[in-house]
Amino acid sequence: MTGERKAAEYEELENRYEERRKIRKKQRERERLFRVRLARGMLCLCMVVVCVGTVVLASDLMVKNKEKASEGNRGKGAVRAGVILPEDEERRTAEVKRPLVDLPEMGALYKIHVQGKGWSHYFADNSYGMAPAGGYITAVQATLHNQPEGMSGTIEYKVNLSGSGWLDWQSNAHEAGGVEGEMPLEAVCIRLTGELAEYYDVLYSVLQNNVWTDWVKNGEEAGQSGVGLRVDGLRMSVARRQEGGISYAGEIDPLKPMVALTYDDGPSKESTRRILKTLEENGGKATFFMVGSRAAKFQETVRQMVAQGCEVANHTYDHTLMTKVDPAELERQLELTNQVVANAGGVTPVLMRPCGGATNDAGMGVAGAISMPAILWSIDTLDWKTRDADATVSAVLDHVKDGDIILMHDLYETAAQASEVIIPELIRRGYQLVTVSELASYRGGMTPGQSYYKFRP
């Protein structure tokens, strides 16, 4: 009995142990499940907190942005007053607002089709696209240079073609007008679209009845349609919109004094680059009247001029005096130089400078026939003769006035040395350093076959 009792007790102990083991196992499983559920709950709670915080922060930023935009633009013409935007467009507009100081410079590139001659090369922003003297424009193309990455929109343009009226809007270098027929343009409208239209303006003017019209912008009509006048020239410029909704072609303030520095006979290997560097460091521009044979040799320098917004201009191919060659040879030299510069820099010269300042009627007739004004000067530094930097500096700083065209030569090291003094000093005195075309654009403009030596207010 004793052995049987012990066996029974042992079996009972085994059963109790097994039962407790099962209980502990269930407890551990419940604890594990509890910890998993707790962790999941904490994770969900954190996600909820983050999402709520993000929404609150975004809402707060949107409100602040709207308040700033409203305060900054109140009375400044930069917002579409009285227009209620859809909620999604209003939110998008608030999100893409960029400070003006962060916007890059952007420019228009455009061509004209001239009756009897065909398409021109591209013209640079705020330069002159003109038909030859007596000619007229039948079509235009336009595109944009240096459009900000990620900013939507493009440039659109439409024309009033004589006998057809207003044609459809075109964009991205597509033809607007008629290249097959003989009918001239009578008026032009140009605008920007998308986000570009919120931060930039496009300004433009046409040559009509031998007079440049006032600047208009953003879809307004330039020129008079239906009165029998044709468009003989076009200029356009894309400019960043400033505080108060104001913008100027070339971003030049017409109320401030301005002068045009010009350099002849280059490019050169060293001096031209030094001058370009000084201009870039001081935010200035200049016009380079280049000899075509040298432009062909220093194509990278030509590209640098264009990249900095300087004006590339024509000084014949071999530095040939207008009065020493027949008209056909002068035309060949000017056309060849235009082609060389356009191939190197992507834009064509619109101005020529007679070598030595010598002109005659036959030569000026050639300039007019290829759509070019002749540019002389109001200050001659004689740097080619003195080769003295101090004398060049004095020639400029002792005589400069608003509207002057200043003549130097970038073949010489002394011209670069003088420019390193002249450029920052002119800016310190309050002058804007602009190209000849920019100077002319606010002082009456230019027409082919005419000569100019200054542009006073």
Active site residues per annotation: 264, 409
Distance of alpha carbon 129 from alpha carbon 236, whole angstroms? 9
- Of the candidates 318, 371, 338, 310, the one whose C-alpha atom is nearest the C-alpha of residue 125 is 310
| Alpha-helix runs per DSSP H in 187-298 | 196-199, 271-282, 292-297
Residue 382, CB-side half-sphere exposure with 13 Å CA sphere: 6
- The three-class DSSP label of residue 241 is coil
Backbone dihedral angles phi then psi of residue 123, each to the nearest 5 degrees: -100, 145
* Residues 65, 94 contacting (CB under 8 angstroms): yes
CB neighbour list of residue 44: distance below 8 Å, 6 or more residues apart: none
Distance of alpha carbon 252 from alpha carbon 455, whole angstroms? 15
Distance of alpha carbon 442 from alpha carbon 203, whole angstroms? 13
- According to DSSP, the β-strands at 287-290 and 311-314 are parallel
The string of DSSP codes covering 388-427 is: -HHHHHHHHHTT--TTBEEEEETTSHHHHHHHHHHHHHHH
| Alpha-helix runs per DSSP H in 74-126 | 87-96
Distance of alpha carbon 244 from alpha carbon 72, whole angstroms? 9
Secondary structure element (H or E) that encloses residue 339, with its range:
helix 327-345
The residue behind tokens 């432009």 is 295
- According to DSSP, the β-strands at 118-119 and 107-114 are antiparallel
- According to DSSP, the β-strands at 216-217 and 118-119 are unpaired
- Of the candidates 269, 278, 232, 288, the one whose C-alpha atom is nearest the C-alpha of residue 408 is 288
Distance of alpha carbon 266 from alpha carbon 409, whole angstroms? 7
Backbone dihedral angles phi then psi of residue 236, each to the nearest 5 degrees: -150, 155
CB neighbour list of residue 96: distance below 8 Å, 6 or more residues apart: 195, 198
- Of the candidates 448, 451, 286, the one whose C-alpha atom is nearest the C-alpha of residue 376 is 451
Distance of alpha carbon 367 from alpha carbon 202, whole angstroms? 29
Distance of alpha carbon 287 from alpha carbon 263, whole angstroms? 6
